[in-house]
Chain A
Amino acid sequence: MQTVEAASLEVSGVELAFGSNKVLRGVDLVVPAGQTACVIGPSGSGKSTLLRAINRLLEPDAGDVKLGGESVLRGDADVLRRRIGMVFQHFNLFPHKSVLDNITLPLRKIKKLDAEAAQAAARAQLELVGLAHKAGARPGNLSGGQQQRVAIARALAMQPEVMLFDEATSALDPELVKGVLALMADLAEAGMTMVVVTHEMGFAREVADQVAFMDHGVVVESGVPEQIFDAADSPRLRQFLSQVL
């Protein structure tokens, strides 16, 4: 698996509130190019909101996000999002389009590829996730694991510099989780910059270069997996780990 030039990602002091509810209260996270950061933490800690602040699906109220050293907060958010792939908990494939068309649609409309080039690129990407034979199927006729692999292929086809994963395996039946995690591990191995919000501690331990623990809208502690899982500093992290491990 190969990726385009992966970029570094730097989140500093990001704050974001829904009305009076402060969901992010100054988040810092640095992911060097080609590395994988796993974000763990209890639900409601702001993990998913952080991902959406990075690609500006939600606009941060304060702080900065730098992609490849340049702030993403200036300029067109639509253009920014072409450089950042995102994978969702509920896949969010377009159910009215075939698997192939799910991937070609953004290639044709956004990257302005002609139909033939878009199809070739889409098929190549489906090949990589092992689903070339499902090109003509509707998403509804695929298993959850297959749908999520298509969603990953759709994001990768846009040749992003960073990939964001929002609990990508949380909605999957247990037996389907492995295949998706293996694909994500391959992608990390290939040198993609990734931010992975996950409850899969095994994945975080094995694949992540860095694990960040979030609680109440801040990164409480971050470090290499060994430090986080075996030598946690903060009592909140230790308490969290005792509940999930």
Chain B
Amino acid sequence: MDIWSTLSDTFLDWESMKAVLPEMLKVGLVNTLILAAASVVLGTLLGMIVAVLALSSKRWLRWPAKIYTDIFRGLPAILTILLIGQGLSPITRHWWGPNPYPLGVLALSLIAAAYIGEIFRSGIQSVEKGQLEAARALGFSYTSGMRLVVIPQGVRRVLPALVNQFIALVKESSLVYFLGLLASQRELFRIGQDAAATNGNLSPLLLAGIFYLVITVPLTHLVNHFDKRLREGRPVESEDIELKELAHANR
């Protein structure tokens, strides 16, 4: 048995890849991006609320945030997606019919918010106490001091971790296929899997994998970029300023 030809039949069947490519692009890629982007936005908003509650000095605000985080971080994503996606559909079908898509986004967002909330909380907590003290000494209220001074700095520090979370969301978006999607709602993984089943080889799934990498690899480079900038500041810009000042001083 020729190992190479077996592998190539399984993974590199160009014909089946070519056949599924248009659908992969027009339906799969689009849906994956919509699912990921919608849950990034919703998850980030919810996550910020969770973080602010978790940092509150009032116990009755802190506790719900902690419990929320424990639950959604502690459950397997697939279980949360099924519980919410199927469990809530009898209620939501009154609004948008038996469409699992919005509930999939909701489930992904709720999971993401637990992680993103923790990321924001740690970032905000890492900002020196003197920052809020200085803001308050100038006359800012606690809320404006947090909003204008502390939170912007905290968020900047956790941008790399935040982008990592976005990468995880892109990958986890594949799990909504368990909810049973309409043909037009299928994302990359589902389309790859369907085509793989039809063709009897895994090449379409490999193609789906390549599409995932096309989305996630640039994001990992974005993480590295943020990381580098956090460590080294923005040298080019500051040099610019110094140069301008020199020119100014020499005038």
The answer to whether B238 touches A138 (Cβ under 8 A) is yes
The answer to whether B133 touches A57 (Cβ under 8 A) is yes
Q: What number of residue pairs across chains A and B have CB atoms under 8 A from each other? A: 74
Q: Say if the beta carbon of B1 comes within 8 Å of chain A.
A: no
The answer to whether A79 and B149 touch (CB under 8 A), given A88-B133, A92-B131, A133-B249, is: no
The answer to whether B144 touches A95 (Cβ under 8 A) is no
The stretch of A103-111, A178-186, A235-243 in contact with B is A103-111
Q: Say if the beta carbon of A149 comes within 8 Å of chain B.
A: no
Give every chain B residue within 8 A of A90 (Cβ-Cβ).
128, 130
Chain A residue at minimal CB-CB distance from B249: A133
The stretch of B31-39, B51-59, B134-142, B196-204 in contact with A is B134-142
Q: Say if the beta carbon of A78 comes within 8 Å of chain B.
A: yes
The answer to whether B148 touches A105 (Cβ under 8 A) is yes
| A59-109 at interface with B (beta carbon < 8 Å) | 78-79, 81-82, 84-86, 88, 90, 92-96, 105-106, 109
Give every chain A residue within 8 A of B148 (Cβ-Cβ).
105, 109
The answer to whether A81 touches B153 (Cβ under 8 A) is no
Give every chain A residue within 8 A of B141 (Cβ-Cβ).
78
The answer to whether A110 touches B133 (Cβ under 8 A) is no
The docked-state distance in angstroms from the alpha carbon of A94 to that of B241 is 18
Chain A interface size, as a band, is 20 to 34
Give every chain A residue within 8 A of B130 (Cβ-Cβ).
88, 90, 92
Give every chain B residue within 8 A of A199 (Cβ-Cβ).
none
Q: Say if the beta carbon of A35 comes within 8 Å of chain B.
A: no
How close is B231's CB to chain A, nearest CB, in angstroms? 13
Partner of A155, one of B131, B138, B156, B244: B138
The answer to whether A81 and B139 touch (CB under 8 A), given A57-B133, A90-B130, A141-B241, is: yes
Q: Say if the beta carbon of B233 comes within 8 Å of chain A.
A: yes
Give every chain B residue within 8 A of A88 (Cβ-Cβ).
130, 133-134, 137
How close is A3's CB to chain B, nearest CB, in angstroms? 17
The answer to whether B138 touches A154 (Cβ under 8 A) is yes
Give every chain A residue within 8 A of B131 (Cβ-Cβ).
92, 94
Q: Say if the beta carbon of B245 comes within 8 Å of chain A.
A: yes
Q: Say if the beta carbon of B248 comes within 8 Å of chain A.
A: yes
The answer to whether A106 touches B138 (Cβ under 8 A) is yes
Give every chain A residue within 8 A of B156 (Cβ-Cβ).
96
The answer to whether A133 touches B245 (Cβ under 8 A) is yes
Chain A residue at minimal CB-CB distance from B129: A92
The answer to whether A78 and B139 touch (CB under 8 A), given A109-B144, A137-B241, is: yes
| A111-164 at interface with B (beta carbon < 8 Å) | 133-134, 136-138, 140-141, 151, 154-155, 158
| B203-250 at interface with A (beta carbon < 8 Å) | 233-234, 238, 241-242, 244-245, 248-249
The answer to whether A81 and B241 touch (CB under 8 A), given A94-B131, A95-B153, is: no
The docked-state distance in angstroms from the alpha carbon of A95 to that of B156 is 11
How close is A101's CB to chain B, nearest CB, in angstroms? 11
Return the CB mask of A48-60 against B: 1 if under 8 Å, else 0: 0000000101000
The answer to whether B134 touches A78 (Cβ under 8 A) is no
Beyond A82-B139, A90-B128, 14 extra complex contacts between A and B, CB < 8 Å: A55-B137, A81-B137, A81-B138, A82-B138, A92-B130, A92-B133, A93-B134, A94-B131, A94-B135, A106-B140, A109-B144, A110-B138, A133-B245, A138-B234
Tell me the A residues contacting B by CB distance below 8 Å: 55, 57, 78-79, 81-82, 84-86, 88, 90, 92-96, 105-106, 109-110, 133-134, 136-138, 140-141, 151, 154-155, 158
> 14 A–B contact pairs at CB < 8 A?
A57-B133, A57-B136, A78-B139, A78-B141, A84-B137, A88-B133, A90-B130, A94-B134, A106-B138, A106-B140, A138-B234, A138-B238, A151-B134, A155-B137
Q: Which 7 A-B pairs have the closest CB atoms?
A: A92-B134, A82-B139, A86-B137, A92-B130, A106-B138, A81-B139, A110-B139
